[in-house]
Amino acid sequence: MSENRKTVFISYSWDNTEHQEWVLKLATDLMEEYGVKVILDQFELSAGRDLTYFMEQSIEKADKVLIILTPNYKVRAEERKSGVGYESLMITQEIFESPITKIKFLPILRIGDSKASSPRFLKSKVYHNMVDDKVYYTELLKLAKLIHDQPAIKMPKLGAIPNFDEPTFDPIIDTAKELTIKIKINQELNQIIDSYKGTEIFKNEIEVLNVQLKEKVELYKNSTGLNFVFESDDNCTSVIRCEKISIQFNWDVKYANTAKNAYLEEMRVNGIISIMNNRFYYNNSKPKLLRKTEYNFDLDYSKNVIWKNEKTHYSTTEIIKNAFVFLIGEVNTEFSKNFRK
């Protein structure tokens, strides 16, 4: 069976170094995590190459065009400035010529809102929101599904057409049956959490968390040259850090026979935290707390562990990915302060 690879071209404005790096990360993640062929100027343009020809060929052969929306992109597109202005001309023309059923152009909101960042020719298009980096990997998965023409929510199978003349047919009964099933499943999940088994699942997931944190630190330390560190007291706290930025994870399950109040806490700080002999040590001054998040332990309907924070929930893997994204982002910001302008 031959591979059906999707090719995307990313259209964006060179707002600043941070924005260029975010676009580069998006392209890299789509390629490495979701098998998407990405056409990006940072990969392919070098001195002497024809920019206009590159843009024409890229838009023509791409299955999808990702349009990264920022206020600067809007201005350049509407005023037909630089490469963005030329790309917008080609995009506008192809939008009008494309059949209504063909979805080739995917606007991605990166900064601001649609009013501030979306050019006029894209006003009628529904955009994909990637403003909040805390949910970057969740939105990346949704974007990958759009690129591969996979529905974000799988459509259910059609059931049999009921016999409406049958005296036993009653939508109230059907709704009640569905409700009863959900009640039963939720009761089962609550019983698991409120038991010895629940505490074991919680402890096992914390072990998974620490194993993955340690593996990631080893990978990044050996692959980057940056000073990544993992430490744990093997009790209730672990720390990952890179240079002078640290993330401290605390967890607790208060009783042996229930995980109802079990939680995972994540503290992101500017400063060095080190665990030595079950004691905390700080480098010079006490680290500055940047953000503190508490996740409540829970299970989804497939009995997989999820960590709930307000109205959002995350898997352990998502929490780890988001932590390292924050870590490298803050380290990049700190080092960039001393870079030559």
Q: pLDDT by residue (tens digit) across 182-206?
A: 999 999 999 999 999 999 999 999 9
Confidence tier at 1 by pLDDT (50, 70, 90): very low
In this model, does residue 96 exceed pLDDT 50?
no
Residue ranges matching CATH 3.40.50.10140 in the chain: 7-147
Query: Is the full-model pTM beyond 0.85?
Result: no
Tokens of 334: 């700190």
* Rounded Cα distance, 262 and 250, in Å: 11
β-pairing, 105-109 with 128-129? Answer: parallel
Q: Is the pLDDT assigned to residue 99 strictly greater than 80?
A: no
> Can you tell me the distance from the alpha carbon of 285 to that of 121, in angstroms, rounded to the nearest whole number?
52
Hey, which bits of the chain come out as E strands?
A: 7-11, 37-39, 64-69, 105-109, 128-129, 228-232, 237-242, 245-252, 263-270, 273-276, 279-282, 288-299, 305-309, 312-314
Taking the C-alpha atoms of residue 11 and residue 39, their distance in angstroms, rounded to an integer, is: 9
pLDDT of 164-187, one tens digit each?
Answer: 776 666 778 888 988 999 999 999
Class assignment of domain 7-147? alpha beta
Helices (H), 80-135: 82-97, 114-117
Residues 6+ apart with CB under 8 A from 338: none
Q: How confident is the model at residue 49 (pLDDT cuts 50, 70, 90)?
A: low
